[in-house]
Chain A
Amino acid sequence: MSQASAVRNRIRVLIAKPGLDGHDRGAKVIARALRDAGFEVVYTGLHQTPEMIVQAAIQEDVHVVGISVLSGAHNALVPEVINGIRSAGLNDVLFLVGGIIPEEDFEGLKAAGTQMVFTPGTSLEEIINYIDKNAPAR
């Protein structure tokens, strides 16, 4: 455990809420669980434009970006965030999406650069394990 958290506290995670969606229960629970697990967590707060999220990611030089969308606007918002971060020069980032995402949209999100989509019912442990295995070792 101590070894895991020693690794984890070098990993910075940005939890982001793009768009007008106000459903922040999941984002906050996950931010807190990741912090409790030892990661360094930044939460953007609500109603962020993709540009604001890109800026936060660059500023904090994050390893992981978790984008939470429950409004159905993920197909429009997620690619904007990912492209923005990449074109700002931050290339080695693990992109995760969480929320109410219909299965038929998974492929499009993955094509846009999302590594994993977590839908309701996913356990916190699963998400933590995924980040442990897949966060870039910068």
Chain B
Amino acid sequence: MIFRRGISIDLTSNSSYHAPMANDPKAISELRKSWDERMLASLKKVPERAVRFTTLSDMEVPLLCTPDDLDRIGFDFEKDLGFPGEYPYTRGVQYNMYRGKLWTMRQFAGFSSPAETNKRFKLLLEKGQTGLSTAFDMPTLMGYDCDSSMALGEVGKCGVSVSSIEDMEELFAGIPLDQVTTSMTINGPAIVILAMYYAMAEKQGVPREKVRGTLQNDILKEYIAQKEWLFPIEPAVKCVIDTIEYGTKHYPNWNTVSISGYHIREAGATAVQELAFTLADGMAYVEESMKRGMDVDDFAPRLSFFFDVHNDFFEEIAKFRAARRIWARMMKERYGAKSPKSWMLRTHAQTAGVSLTAQQPMNNVVRVAVQAMAGVLGGVNSLHTNSMDETLALPTDDAVLVALRTQQVIAEESGIANFADPLGGSYLVEYLTNKVESEALEYIKRIDEMGGMIKAVENGYPQAEIGNSAYHFQRQLEKKEKIMVGVNLYQMVEKKRSMETLYIDRAVEKQQADKLRALKARRNAGAVTESLQAVKVAAEKGLNLMPSIIDAVKVYATLQEVCDTLRGVYGTYREEGKF
């Protein structure tokens, strides 16, 4: 307010000039200096609450930004901001943003048996959700069948158990695959799960161009953060490129990789690290695909992203805006992409699991709402809102419904969806967007100097950076430099937990194992052996694995059988116990 008054005074006193003084950075800078003095004088009466004011990621932030701040960092309206739907997409990838199509409300779901998850899918579709998102259990994510000794105690716990195409068909029973978009969160054995999905769609008679969805399939961030790997890095990246190559040719509307910062952030990265490492991962996939001779404009439009949306409101908004700008410039300038579709960073976002607290869990509803709003103001294309009980267990139906309704309240009641990039032009938001961008570019430069992201990951560089940030944040929590309400401030003695949680019965493990045993007895054993031999040969010869794996899963080779075949050729990955 004070500042605006400053401008109007200035305008009146200089009314004879052609250029309005309001936009003259020098004049504004003078006004700002004099305000700074008055503000500093005021601190004698109202001292500040802290010595440093920082974002959640411990990035120091200013009290106020004015046009001269933007001038100082060289902010350029046309180059840096531009318009929605156009390069460099800082303001979003659609011309009319949410006026045309609201973001996709996509709640991640998966637990227990395929039949149980199928019921949850149908519940979500019935309540107005527009896309499906599948969580797999740990054995599936690591390429083990439900009857493996490695699966002890883990079947159906963190997601749904899928060991064969039979499980996959049960999971999607009664859901027409040409009418939903399906996201599948799996990485290490992603190529096998994708083969099952393609084979199932083919059996349903769905035309290939109508098979729509997203496979996470981002193996680099597994070595960096989520730690669900199968093979050493090089062959694992090769599998990712195989799916990109095959998908580009045969399934034009399937998003082959969802380049994910979510897990990097949850593992303790700062917002800048999340952004930098994720984009660097994406750049590695682009480079590897181009090395194989693909035209960047053929595959880049099917790359999508997945970011965390955490508590620090403006830092997060800046992150999404910076992400789109950096990616657009990289694609156009570094990789020579000509299609605007290759320049656009389309992203899913999920509210921050690590921000949820077991203490006073109802507070989580509020955290999720704030985070979801930051995502929408940041222009995300798709959003998952966490359920309030997720720090205690997998979410119950009721908790999932509140989470979905949170998005619907933002979409239908808050009015935010009326605007494209409503915070664009805010001095602060533009300043922060530039700051996050330039710090992320510093990291990317360092990674370039190491020889690219694959090398950096092999050297443990992003892993170490994240570990340091996680430790730093924990220290800040202990010193109350960072606050979690109900955890290190405003704690209270709570009654025994009143919230109902979802319990996964160990019986699922046995049921699934029995089913698998019956399948193995029923299938054509000779065909299975033959198909696995073909997978082995393809792996040894360095051919694209997709066709042979599709053939194998069609004759009911199991997930683990295919993965073990590949492990036999590629070996396995082990991480040192560094901390």
* A124 engages B579 (CB within 8 Å): no
B575: chain A residues at CB < 8 Å are 45-46
The residue in chain B whose Cβ has the minimal distance to the Cβ of A43 is B577
State whether A73 touches B154 (Cβ < 8 A).
Answer: yes
Shortest Cβ distance from residue A2 to the other chain B in the assembled complex, whole angstroms? 21
Question: Is the C-beta of A19 less than 8 angstroms from some C-beta in chain B?
Answer: yes
Interface status of A89 (Cβ within 8 A of chain B)? no
Contact with B along A41-67 (1 / 0, CB 8 A): 111111101000000000000000000
Q: How long is the Cα–Cα vector from A76 to B357 in the complex, in angstroms?
A: 25
| Interface check A88, CB cutoff 8 A | no
A49: chain B residues within 8 A (beta carbon) = 150
- Of all chain B residues, the one with the shortest Cβ separation from A56 is B577
B266 touches A71 (CB 8 A): no
The yes or no answer to B370 lying at the interface (CB within 8 A) is: no
Do A123 and B478 have beta carbons less than 8 Å apart? yes
A100 touches B153 (CB 8 A): no
Asked if B576 and A45 make an inter-chain contact with CB atoms under 8 angstroms apart, the answer reads yes
Is A136 interfacial (CB-CB < 8 Å)?
A: no
Q: Mark A103-138, 1 if CB is under 8 A from B, else 0.
A: 100000000000000011101110000000000000
Look across to chain B and name the residue whose beta carbon is closest to the beta carbon of A16: B577
Number of interface residues of B (CB under 8 A): 46
Scan B126-166; emit 1 where CB is below 8 A from any A CB, else 0: 00000000000011011010000011111001100000000
Which chain B residue has the least Cβ–Cβ distance from A31?
A: B579
- Distance in Å: Cβ of B221 to nearest Cβ of chain A: 11
Report the bound CA distance from A12 to B308 in whole Å: 37
Q: Which residue in chain A gives the minimum CB-CB distance to B150? A: A20
Q: Quick check: A120 and B152 within 8 Å, CB to CB?
A: no
Of residues 2 through 28 on chain A, the ones whose CB sits less than 8 Å from some CB of chain B are 15, 19-25, 27-28
Label chain B's interface by main secondary structure.
loop
Given A43-B579, A100-B392: A119 touches B358 (CB 8 Å cut-off): yes
B488 within 8 A of A: yes
Given contacts A25-B470, A29-B474, A45-B574, contact A72 B504 (CB under 8 A): yes
B228 CB–A CB distance under 8 Å: yes
Tell me if B61 counts as interface (CB < 8 A to partner A).
Answer: no
A22 to B158: give the CA distance in the assembly, Å.
12
Question: Does B393 belong to the interface (CB within 8 Å)?
Answer: yes
Q: Given known contacts A44-B577, A71-B154, A71-B157, is B391 in contact with A100 (CB within 8 Å)?
A: yes
A-B contacts, 11 listed (Cβ < 8 Å) = A27-B579, A28-B470, A45-B574, A71-B154, A71-B157, A72-B153, A73-B153, A75-B153, A77-B152, A120-B391, A124-B474
Which residues does A use to contact B, with CB under 8 Å? Answer: 15, 19-25, 27-29, 31-33, 35, 41-47, 49, 71-77, 100, 102-103, 119-121, 123-125
Which residues of B come within 8 Å of A, CB atoms?
138-139, 141-142, 144, 150-154, 157-158, 222, 226-228, 266-268, 357-359, 391-394, 467, 470-471, 474, 477-478, 484, 487-488, 496-497, 501, 504, 506, 574-579
The 8 closest A-B pairs by CB, nearest first: A76-B153, A45-B577, A22-B227, A73-B153, A72-B157, A20-B138, A31-B579, A28-B579
Given pairs A77-B152, A102-B501, 12 additional interface contacts (CB within 8 A): A27-B579, A33-B471, A33-B474, A45-B574, A46-B577, A71-B154, A72-B394, A73-B138, A73-B154, A121-B357, A123-B478, A124-B474
